[in-house]
Copies of this chain bind each other. A is one copy, B any other.
Amino acid sequence: MRDFSLNHEALSLNTATVRKQWSLDRIIEECARRDIRAISPWRDQVALVGIDHIARQLRETGIKLSGYCRGGFFPAADKPGLQAALDDNRRAIDEAKLLNAPCLVLVVGSLPGALTGPPAYHDISRARSEVRDGIAASLEYARQVDMPLAIEPLHPMQAAERACINTLEQALDLCDELDPGRSGSLGVAVDLYHVWWDPKLAAQIVRAGADRLLAYHVCDWLAPTRDLLNDRGMMGDGIIELKKCRRWMEEAGFTGYSEVEIFSDTWWQKPGEYVLDTCIERHLTVV
Contact = CB atoms under 8 A, between A and B. Distances in A.
Interface of A: 111, 114, 119, 122-124, 128, 155-157, 159-161, 164, 166-167, 170, 196-199, 221, 223-226, 228, 239-241
Contacts of A119: 223, 239
B199 A157 contact: no
A215 B221 CA distance: 30
Contact of A122 (B161, B197, B239): B239
B156 A157 contact: yes
Nearest to A194: B156
B161 A224 contact: yes
A156 B198 contact: yes
Contact of A157 (B123, B128, B155): B155
Give the copy number.
2
Contacts of A167: 199
17 contacts: A114-B223, A114-B239, A123-B241, A124-B196, A124-B197, A155-B156, A155-B157, A156-B197, A157-B225, A157-B228, A159-B197, A160-B221, A160-B223, A160-B225, A164-B197, A170-B199, A224-B228
Q: Please give me the 10 A-B residue pairs with the lowest Cβ-Cβ distance, nearest first.
A: A159-B197, A160-B223, A157-B157, A156-B197, A114-B223, A122-B239, A156-B156, A170-B199, A160-B239, A122-B241
Interface secondary structure of A, over-half rule: loop
Contacts of A122: 239-241
Contacts of A198: 156, 166
Given A157-B228, A223-B114, A166 B241 contact: no
A223 B170 contact: no
Contacts of A164: 197, 199
Contacts of A124: 196-197, 239, 241
B223 A111 contact: yes
A6 to B, nearest CB: 24
Contacts of A196: 124, 159
Given A119-B223, A124-B239, 14 more contacts: A111-B223, A114-B223, A122-B240, A128-B199, A156-B197, A157-B225, A157-B228, A159-B196, A159-B197, A160-B221, A160-B223, A161-B223, A225-B228, A226-B228
Contacts of A223: 111, 114, 119, 160-161
A241 B225 CA distance: 27
Nearest to A123: B241
A155 B240 CA distance: 17
B123 A199 contact: no
A241 B128 CA distance: 15
